[in-house]
Structure 1
Amino acid sequence: MNRRSQTLMIAVGLGVMLNPLNSSMVSMALPSLQEAFALDFASVSWIIFAFYVCSAAAQPVMGRMSDVLGRRRIFLTGLFVSMIASFAAAFAPTFGWLVALRILQSIGTSMMIAVGMAIVRVHVLGKQGSALAILSIFLSGAAAIGPFVGGFLIHAWDWRAIFLVNVPVAAFAFLLAWRVLPRDTPKKALDGPPPSRRTRMRQLDPVGILLFGSGLTALMLGLLAVSSSGTLSAKSVGLGLAGMVLLAIWVRHEWRHPSPFVPVRMFVRYPELSRVNLEFMLVNLLFYSIFFGLPSYLQSVRGLSELHAGWLMLSLGLCSLLAAPFAGRGVDRLGPRPLLLLSAVLMAGGSLGLAVIGTQVSVLWFVPILAAFGIANGLNGVAMQAALFEHTPAAMAGVTSGLFHTSRYLGTILSSLLIASVMGGAFTHDGLHRLGCILSVCTLVLVWTGRAGFGRTSRSPNR
């Protein structure tokens, strides 16, 4: 990678890290927000849920907009929106305003995280595995240090600091991206000038975007309602059914549309794209079941303090961070499939460890379990993006990258639903064993699909 590509990677990395950084930092601010706005925990939790739901729906939309309107334009707009929303959120007068600005912040960071992957796909032509490893370091590093940074800032000042810290980072990234991101080249028609603004708006497929956004939002809100209450209700079932109906209508609309928001025919033509997204959703269900579930178990069952549980969980993030560079080199040499098979085996070992660990053993025995999941997460973050890029046409890099990250958020929400279903009203050691058994079954599916895909060649779209 030459110096310009390295600078481009730094600019993109600083932008994409704002999404995981802000999704993890805010978890440390929940008690402060409860006190500041006089709310219960269920109400204040929507500061997290709103960010997840909006990110899941917005990232494919922003990816498609970048494919049509230009990636540089959308990336820079995302940085500007994130900077303004973060600054305003620090001075939100009510919790409702804070959630609204948090949604705006989510839209801004979603512009960058979807478009950033597409920029790498299109403009970094050599050693893409290494380039993806650099982005994975930014993403994994932000998620790993987010709780620590959030806790430090809140301790030093108050909850407003976790929003204001975004402003200088976004401003620096904006100036750097303005200088190094390649300018958008207008797409010319075959026999005439570039398409007009009205034509480009039709290419965005606003009806498809509306159906996708409303359907996915309804489905995710239904899942979250079940996860937060632990029971099925008429509201959660109604939201889930409405979401599935809207998504079914959306698929039918996209199949017939001459310029669809999401080219569903491409997913039929290249089934590997669907496979990668389903696998990514499953690995995130596995990872976040540990990420969200184990800290509560360590504190409520094993009696660890928040500080000691945090130190123990740090092994998960650090191993993920350290594995990314090796994953990049491995992808460049071997391709993604061997690394995906290795990550599945590691998660299978970690899941079996949860299923059999005893009540009297030292909590330090959780370190190798967390390390196995952390290394697997670092491998997956690079290898699955490389597998996606192998089968993605350059013209569709934005929307497919956005859908890829939507799969991550769906896996995250399903993990919270799984934890709530397995643990019930309280965390127990038996519940941890049941969770380990379920995760073991899921990892066996990954091992089987990894072996099935190992060494297999499949059609790749034209570059």
Structure 2
Amino acid sequence: MSVRNRWLMISVGLGILLNPLNSSMVAVAIPRLQNVFQLDYTGVSWIIFSFYIASSIAQPVMGKASDLFGRRKIFLTGLVVSFIAGLFAPFSPNFGCLIVFRIVQAIGTSMMVAVGMAIVRIHITEKQATALSVLSIFLSGAAAIGPFIGGVIIHWWDWPAIFFVNIPFVVASFLLSWKHIPKDEPSTTVTRGMSLRKWFDLIDASGILLFTVGLIAVLLGLLSAKSSGHISLIHVITLLTGLVLLGVFVRHELTAASPFIPLRTFAKYPAMTWVNVEFMLVNVLFYSLFFGIPSYLQMVRHVSEFQTGILMLTLGLCSLITAPIAGRWIDRSGPRPALLVSGVLMTLGSVWLVTLNQTSPVISVCVALAAFGISNGLNNVGLQAALFQSSPKEIIGVASGLFNTSRYLGTILSSLLIGIIMGGKFSFEGFQVLGVILTVIALSLVFMSRKHRESGQLQKSANSGAKK
């Protein structure tokens, strides 16, 4: 790889790591934020919900925007937006303002993730697979060490510092990107003359609005009822409104010319659909642990933020170490054996959480963290490979976008699951209930992996027979 390409990789990598870094650092900050703003656990969960909802919407939208306005422009704009959020969020006078800046931060960092891979694919023509794997290390590495960084920062400087830490990354990425990311090709005549209505149709503004309002209404209805301890008429109306809006969204997406989430693609390629379902469930499991363990350690076992960050490092290191090994194994044997092993490990890790009691050594949570870390390394590579196997080449771009949407839906559902189980206060009893639910989900993933492995072998045999 040439020197120019290396600097391009560093420029993009320093930008795209901000999204997973900010989504993971907050896991350790939740107890502190709950105390500072005097919120119950359900209320403080919106610091998680807001980021993932905004990211799930912003990434595909900004991907489309980059085709119209240029990838370099969107990337640099994302850095500016992230700088503003990182600078002003620590001075939020209340939790509502903090949520607003958190949404702004999600949009800014999503602008870079949405176009970072495309920039590398377009401008690095040699050893593209190596280049993309390096970007994956930036993404997975930032997510892996986020809780550790968050724990150290909060221990020494308190929660505002987890926003200030973005600023040096943003400045470095902006200066390097301005110099090393090539300028975009001029937009086409059609793009320059595009009306506002056509632009709204292209990004499916109606679908985005229905999805956003419907999802938020469902979350508000469920979490508000859980937080208040009873179900009122307003809770039921809010929940039903959200469900109706999501139903309208599904109908709209089936008829839209340029849908926000192309649902017909799922129906046309069922194997790809199952990969996305698996990926969503994997992320429900992983992020339930990712956000649940730090709160368990700090609220139930009274472990400091610094020690929590150290313990959570087990999860990240196991994931990082496993990923390259998984790549070589999957190249030889295909994705399904690795996914089956991953499902078994997640089951064992979930069962281990259920066996913990209030006198168990704190260090014992590292057993579950190691099991989930290894499984996460296997899943990140295995499910991506399974997606490529199940998706026709002509729609691989759409398939990758849907894959990321499944990730964010999984994280949103994990936060919802924890919020419903815990309600106002994170408790040991709730943590055990969470472990039981995660065990059931993990067992279902094992079953799905075995079933799809058998169907994959049958499909392979059928294809071989057809060629003969």
TM-score by length of 1: 0.81
Structure 1 180/230 Cα, relative in aligned 2: closer, same or farther at 3 Å? farther
Query: Is contact 2:28-2:308 (8 Å) kept?
Result: no
Q: Residue 409 of structure 1: CA displacement?
A: 3.2
Structure 1 residues 401 and 61: alpha-carbon distance in aligned structure 2, compared to 1, 3 A threshold? farther
Give the whole-Å Cα distance in 1 for the aligned partners of 2:379 and 2:132: 11
The one-letter code matched in structure 2 to 1:452 is K
- Please tell me the residue identity of whatever aligns with 2:211: F
Structure 2 equivalent of residue 197 of structure 1: 194
Say whether the 8 Å CA contact 2:75–2:112 is kept in structure 1. Answer: yes
Indicate if the aligned counterparts of 1:47 and 1:102 stay in contact, CA closer than 8 A: yes
* 1:114-133 matches, cutoff 5 A: 114-119=114-119, 133=133
- Against the structure 1 CA distance between its residues 259 and 284, is the aligned structure 2 distance closer, same or farther, given a 3 Å change threshold? closer
Q: Which runs of 5+ in 2 are unaligned?
A: 463-468
- Asked if the contact 1:223/1:413 (under 8 Å) is kept, the reply is no
Deviations 1:16-68 (A, max 9, x none): 221222233345555766787x6445655544443233223323322333355
- Find the counterpart in structure 1 of residue 465 from structure 2: none
Could you give the per-residue CA deviations for residues 237-275 of structure 1, whole angstroms, max 9, x where no partner exists?
433332332222223223223333333322222223322
CA contact (8 A) 1:226 1:233 kept: yes
SS of corresponding position for 1:258: coil
- The aligned residue for residue 147 of structure 1 is 147
Task: Map residues 42-57 of structure 1 onto 2, 5 A cutoff.
Answer: 46-57=46-57
Structure 1 position 371, deviation (Å): 0.4
TM-superposed CA distance for 1:376, in Å, is 0.9
Matched to 2:310, the amino acid is W
State which drifts further: 47-56 or 441-450. 47-56
- Greater shift in the superposed pair: 430-439 or 310-319: 430-439
Identity value in percent:
56
Which AA in structure 1 matches 2:62? M
Q: For 2:73, what is the secondary structure of its paired residue?
A: helix
Per the alignment, residue 100 of structure 2 pairs with 100
Q: Residue type matched to 1:413 in 2?
A: I
CA deviations over 1:180-218 (Å, ceiling 9, x no partner): 446545687xxx976733355542232233223323333
Aligned to 1:214: 213
The residue correspondences of 1:33-432 to structure 2 (distance < 5 A) are 39-41=38-40, 46-92=46-92, 95-119=95-119, 133-181=133-181, 183-185=183-185, 196-198=193-195, 202-225=201-224, 228=227, 232-299=231-298, 302=301, 304-357=303-356, 362-390=361-389, 391=391, 397=397, 400-422=399-421, 431-432=430-431
Taking structure 1 as reference, are residues 271 and 120 closer, same or farther at Cα in structure 2, changes over 3 Å only? farther
Give, in whole Å, the separation in 1 of the partners of 2:153 and 2:86. 15
> Alpha-carbon deviation of 1:359?
6.4
Q: Deviations over 1:272-325 (max 9, x none)?
A: 332222212211111122223334444555565554444333212221222223
Contact 1:211 1:246 in 2 (8 A): yes
Contact 1:133–1:328 (Cα < 8 Å) also in 2: no
What SS does the corresponding residue of 2:238 show, helix, strand or coil? helix
Mapped contact 2:40–2:425 kept (Cα < 8 A): no
Matches of 2:359 and 2:155, distance apart in 1? 34
Please say if residues 114 and 402 of structure 1, whose CA atoms lie closer than 8 Å, have aligned partners that are also in contact.
Answer: no
The answer to whether the 8 A contact 2:49-2:412 is kept is no
Which amino acid counterpart does residue 267 of structure 1 have in structure 2? F
Cα distance in 2, alignment partners of residues 88 and 319 from structure 1: 35
- Provide the rounded CA distance (Å) in 2 between the counterparts of 1:427 and 1:65: 41
| Partners of 1:419 and 1:435 within 8 A in 2 | yes
Query: 1:381 is matched by which residue type in structure 2?
Result: N
Question: CA offset at residue 373 of structure 1?
Answer: 0.4
Tell me how far apart the structure 2 counterparts of residues 299 and 183 of structure 1 sit (CA, whole Å): 48
Using the alignment, how far apart are the partners of 2:452 and 2:155 within structure 1? 48
2:466 matched residue in structure 1: none
SS at match of 2:209: helix
Deviation at residue 419 of structure 1 after TM alignment: 3.6
CA–CA separation in structure 1 for the residues paired with 2:408 and 2:393: 24
C-alpha contact 2:349 2:371 (8 A) present in aligned 1: yes
For structure 1, which segment, 89-98 or 166-175, has the greater mean C-alpha deviation from structure 2 after superposition? 89-98
- CA 1:6 to 1:105, structure 2 compared with 1: closer, same or farther past 3 Å? same
Secondary structure (helix, strand or coil) at the match of 2:257 reads coil
Question: Contact 2:203–2:260 (CA<8 Å) still a contact in 1?
Answer: yes
Q: Aligned to 1:197, what secondary structure does the other structure show?
A: coil
Spell out, residue by residue over 1:350-409, the C-alpha distance to the aligned partner (whole angstroms, 9 max, x if none): 123234456665444432222010111122223333433552757773x65454333333
**Residues 131 and 356 of structure 1: is their aligned pair in 2 closer, same or farther, counting only changes over 3 Å?**
farther
The answer on whether the counterparts of 1:129 and 1:332 sit within 8 Å (CA) in structure 2 is no
What letter corresponds to residue 349 of structure 2 in structure 1?
Answer: G
Gap change, CA 1:166 and 1:204, over 3 Å in 2 = same
| CA pair 55-131 structure 1, distance change in 2 beyond 3 A | same
CA–CA distance in structure 2, aligned partners of residues 96 and 433 of structure 1? 31
Shift of 1:433: 4.6
8 Å CA contact 2:49, 2:415 repeated in 1: no
My pick for the range that moved more, 84-93 or 249-258, is: 84-93
1:53/1:194 Cα in 2 relative to 1: closer, same or farther (>3 Å)? Answer: closer
Q: Which structure shows the higher helix fraction? A: 2
Query: Is the contact made by 2:152 and 2:309 (CA closer than 8 Å) also made in structure 1?
Result: no
CA distance in 1, matches of 2:333, 2:127: 12
Extract unaligned runs of 5+ from structure 1: none
TM-score, length-scaled by structure 2: 0.81
Deviates more, 1:273-282 or 1:132-141: 132-141
Contact 2:83 2:166 in 1 (8 A): yes
> Is contact 1:57–1:217 with CA below 8 Å preserved after alignment?
no
Q: Find the aligned partners of 2:168 and 2:117 in 1 and give their Cα distance.
A: 23
1:10 corresponds to which residue? 10
Provide the C-alpha distance between the structure 2 equivalents of 1:318 and 1:231, rounded to a whole number of angstroms.
Answer: 42
1:123 shift after superposition: 6.4
- Look up the equivalent residue of 1:75 and give its one-letter code: F
SS of equivalent to 1:261: coil
CA distance in 2 between counterparts of 1:173 and 1:7 reads 10
Aligned counterparts of 2:108 and 2:123: Cα–Cα separation in 1: 22
Letter paired with 1:385: Q
